[in-house]
Structure 1
Amino acid sequence: MNGATLRSQIPSFGWIKQCYRTIDRRLRKNLKAMIIVHPTWYVKALMAVIRPFLSSKFGRKVQFVDSLWELSQQIPLEQVHIPDCVQQLDHSWNGSRDTKR
């Protein structure tokens, strides 16, 4: 959940890389998607820069969605903890579109 995160609070490339490496190889291979909700231009640019250093299979798994409604089209939101502040931000950015459809 990236929306409206201050640039100073976005994790560094090194931290993201370390997190990725801590995931067991079997789990990484079975990962279906890494979905980034409310991506900022900075996150999209960062992903474009680091994509050459990622495996091509993993790079294809990275997806951006601009709303919780879009996320709900891919996964049941009941299975995800979405902080209240993210829900409020989504509501202010995307109106009152029902995310439970």
Structure 2
Amino acid sequence: MQPDFGWMKRLQQILGQKHRRNLHAIYVLHPTFGLKAAILTLQWFVDNVVWNKVVYADRLLQLFRYVPREQLTIPDFVFQHDLEVNGGKGVRVDHRTKYVY
């Protein structure tokens, strides 16, 4: 699912100045070209403090390099999509624990 421009602008407003300064990163999993273009456009028109902190992860294993798997709750459909998109290359999933390694 891809958020619209309104959602991304509301996110920036919700964060406020204090949180924007302390924000380390926003992780985007399975980004589409359209979403990357939208974020790039937002950097030009809206305060880019937040949008410069976007980190793209094309697969779950890339995301787990930044955030430990144990700290995330990931829905089943995300695991399924990751396997469909990336073909499970070098990925093994324990379906009982949803642990990817």
TM-score, with structure 2 as normaliser: 0.78
**Partner residue in 1 for 2:20:** 28
Aligned structure 1 segments of 4 or more residues deviating by more than 3 angstroms: 54-57, 98-101
Deviates most, 11-20 or 25-34: 11-20
How many equivalent pairs are there?
93
| Identity value in percent | 33
CA contact (8 A) 2:42 2:48 kept: no
CA displacement 1:41-92 (0-9 Å, x = unmatched): 1101111211112434433211111000000111102111111100111122
Q: Which runs of 5+ in 2 are unaligned?
A: 93-98
Cα RMSD of the aligned pairs, angstroms, is 1.9
Deviations 1:12-55 (A, max 9, x none): 21221112211242222111001100001110111121111243
Structure 1 stretches lacking a partner, 5+ long: none
Which protein is bigger by CA-based radius of gyration?
A: 2
Instruction: Please give the TM-score of this superposition, normalised by the length of structure 1.
Output: 0.78
- In structure 1, the residue corresponding to 2:66 is in which secondary structure? coil
1:76 matched to 2:68? The reply is: yes
- CA distance in 2 between counterparts of 1:73 and 1:25 reads 28
Q: Name the residue aligned to 1:88.
A: 80
